[in-house]
Amino acid sequence: MLETKNLFVSYGKIIALHNVNIRVEKGEIVTLIGTNGSGKSTLLKTISGLIKPTGGEIYFESERIDRESGHEIAQRGIAQIPEGRRIFPLLTVEENLLMGAFFRRDHSLIKKDMSRIFGMFPILEERRKQLGGTLSGGEQQMLAFGRALMSRPKLLTLDEPSMGLAPVIVERVFEIIKEVNRQGVTILLVEQNARAALSTAQRGYVMETGGVLLEGPTQMLLSDDRVKKCYLGIQEIHIL
């Protein structure tokens, strides 16, 4: 469904991504893990058309998209939930959800999808006339999910969905990710909580200083000594 080929991104003289090659198959959950500044968020923004690459290519459903604008890429079926959620604080919950359907013209199905979102997140229905900015962090994250799903995405990219949330809400967020995937949405997940991300996804990429350091099935990455030491907080104990 998605493939980057030898992707480069620069901010002036600073190289943010170099020779990045990833692929996401239809129906998968794929995760990107790595330290702050490793290029994960830059990669998601480049895929979404918010940043233009300085080299390489991006393909979505076998068609090249790296020359397209952000709104053209969104219309193809790629939705992003950005870091910090970025809901519209002065719009109501209902208005935020309708913004997710901005490009759609199938009004009867929009109403049906609104009901489906309220079924997934009953708290949003209770707060449908409440301003987005007055919601708690967990409720805003649910609203961000709902808004993205209102666009009927084929691929959903998530940037740090658990950031700043209480542990019980983080658990719910990862349940939602699995539930959305079961509904047929392919997911590319950037997440600092490496253990949760690798336990949720089928495959993963470990990024470091703008490039891909490791890749493979998540079970393989979970057992890799470098991943254990750097991202899972596990170090080998040598008994003398």
pLDDT digits (tens, 9 = 90+) for 44-101: 999 999 999 999 999 999 999 999 999 999 999 999 998 877 899 999 999 999 999 8
DSSP code, position 34: E
| Interatomic CA distance for residues 148 and 152, integer angstroms | 8
Low-confidence ranges of the chain (pLDDT < 50): 235-240
Q: Which residues of 93-130 are buried (b: 16+ CB within 10 A; e: fewer)?
A: bbebbbebbeeeeeeeebeebbeebbebbeebeebeee
Q: What pLDDT sits at residue 233? A: 67
Distances, alpha carbon 232 to alpha carbons 7, 193, 199, 228, in Å: 28, 9, 12, 5
| Interatomic CA distance for residues 50 and 132, integer angstroms | 24
Q: Which residue has the tokens 């350091």?
A: 213
Distances, alpha carbon 96 to alpha carbons 25, 166, 173, 195, in Å: 30, 23, 19, 31
Return the CATH fold of 2-86+148-231: Rossmann fold (3.40.50)
Q: What pLDDT sits at residue 163? A: 85
Sheet strands side by side (includes 211-217):
78-81, 155-159, 186-190, 29-34, 203-208, 211-217
